[in-house]
Structures are given as structure tokens and as C-alpha cells.
Amino acid sequence: MLVAVAGNVALALAKGAVAWLSGSNAVLAEAANSLSDALYSFFMGLGLWLSQRPADESHPQGHGRFEPLVGVIIAVAIGFTGFEVVQRAVDRLLGGAVSIEPGWPTVVLVGSAVLKLLMFALAHRLGRQTGSPAIQATARDNLTDICTSVAALLGIWASRYLHPLFDPGAGIFVSLWVFRTAFEVLWENLSYLTGRGADPELIAAIAAKAMTVPGVHGVHQVVADYVGPKVRVDMHIDVNGDLSLAEAHEISDRVQECVEQLKAVDRAFVHVEPASGKGE
């Protein structure tokens, strides 16, 4: 996250300086986009740190909801950034646009695309390793930023050699990508905060994992919903009805440990039922 923050701050400063020197609305939109990315990365890192703190008296179920809560706040901030960019671009369209000299804007936008490609590769690899939705969202955002940089670059060159209105037009296009990012981040994190149920594929993986434990005859009533970026699982297992309470409890503990090894699982609660009378 520190790499993402530093990279986006550097890009925002470089794009802001070039936008001020050249008067390009498209580069200004890119500067605002990079600034929003820096804020998003910083607060997502903060949310990750808070969410990984152990449970305490004030939060006995842990701090997992902090990460998506911060994500919602940042999504709103990104949306305001997009609105500001649209407003400036519309003012330029109505007030009359001028052609933009493509020299420095080309340098900073090409450099931005290259840096974002490197950041995407890093975030994509970390996201796959950790399973963190925040890091995976950052990877998607970096890939989107490459597209917006190319769009801004095309708008600047078109404003120079075709028509000046292409520059504010590119600024509006970039702002639409900013809005898209804001909506995706908001939707994903709201689903975590409101306890969205796990996908059927994850439910099946949880059941399959539990069935690998010796002594488990069946798994049913698997309920998994998101508490922050990970799921909390409530499930029932069938064991031999002739087992002692201690033996059944030991199997339950092993199932819990096994299921909690899945990256997407935060906690698992296992209920034991006798297999007798169920056709086992």
C-alpha cells in the first residue's frame, strides 16, 4: 500500500504541474484521478491495519468491518472528485476550448501508463496471494488507470490536430471512469458491511473441506456471510452417533480448524449431530 500511495502522489503532482502549464483538462482529470487513487490506497491500508487488530472488549467479534467501512468513505470521496472534473470539463466546453501542445502531457501520460502497469502487476500478485478484496480492487483500479491515461493522451493529440474540444471531451471520459471506480468500490464494500452471503462456489469449498476430516459423515446447513472482507461460517456436521461427547467434540474442533484454513474464512462455528437416523 505504501508503494501505491507514493506512486499515486508522484503521479498526481506531475500531472497537476503539467495540467497547470499546458492548460489541458484531460491531464487535470488524470491528476484528480491519481490523487483520488492515493487517498484510496492510503485509507485502504489504514483499513487493512485496523481490520487485522485482534478482538477486544469493544469489538469482541474482531475489527473486520473497518476495511469495508473505510472503502465506503473513499468511494464517496472518489465520486466527488469525478464530479469536480466533470464540472471543469463542461465549463471548458461551454467557454470554448483551445488546442493543447502535446509535448509534456505526452511524457507524463506515457510515464503514468508504464508506472500503473508495474503497480497493477504488483497488486495483482499480492491480491492473489492474500485474497484481500482491497488489494484486488487496487489492482483493477490500476488497470483502469492505464485505459484513462491512453484516453487522455488520445484526447490531447486530437485537440491539437483535429479539434480543441477533444481535450475537455477526454476529460469527461476520464471522469466517467472515475465514477465507475467509485461505484464499484462502493458496491463491493457495502456488500461486505451488510452481510452479503457467500457465493455457492465458496459454500461448496467449505463443505468439501469439512468432509476431508476423518469421522465426518455429512455436512449440511452451511451458512456463510461476510463480516468485513471475510466470511463467518455456521455449519452442521454428522458424526457417528455412538461416539462419546469428547470424541465428537474433537472432530468438531478439527473441522473448525480445517475450514478456517481457507483464505476467505474468518471464523467457523460447527454444530455436531448424530448420523444415526439419517441413512448413514
Q: Give the range with max mean pLDDT: 20-34, 46-60, 114-128, 230-244.
A: 230-244
Question: Using CB atoms within 10 A of its CB, is residue 35 exposed (0-12), middle (13-18) or buried (19+)?
Answer: buried
Q: Mean pLDDT score of the chain, rounded to an integer?
A: 82
Domains by residue range for the chain, with CATH: 2-193 (1.20.1510.10), 200-274 (3.30.70.1350)
Helix pair angle (25-51, 66-95), 10° resolution: 170
* pLDDT of 279 over the 50 cut: no
pLDDT at 96: 65
**Phi then psi dihedrals of residue 224, to 5 deg:** -135, 120
* pLDDT of 138 over the 80 cut: no
Report percent pLDDT > 70 for the chain. Answer: 91
DSSP 11-80: HHHHHHHHHHHH--HHHHHHHHHHHHHHHHHHHHHHHHHHHTSPP-SS-TT-STTHHHHHHHHHHHHHHH
CA 173 to chain centre: 22
pLDDT at 268: 95
pLDDT at 240: 93
* pLDDT of 229 over the 60 cut: yes
pLDDT at 40: 73
pLDDT at 210: 96
* pLDDT of 280 over the 50 cut: no
Tell me the three state secondary structure of residue 265.
Answer: strand
pLDDT at 97: 60
Higher-pLDDT residue of 279 and 102 is 102
pLDDT at 60: 66
Tell me the three state secondary structure of residue 162.
Answer: coil
Higher-pLDDT residue of 258 and 226 is 258
* pLDDT of 278 over the 60 cut: no
pLDDT at 243: 92
pLDDT at 187: 86
Question: Binning pLDDT at 50, 70 and 90, where does residue 255 land?
Answer: very high
Higher-pLDDT residue of 139 and 264 is 264
Question: Binning pLDDT at 50, 70 and 90, where does residue 146 land?
Answer: confident
Q: What is the pLDDT of residues 185-218, one digit of tens each?
A: 788 888 878 778 899 999 999 999 999 999 999 9
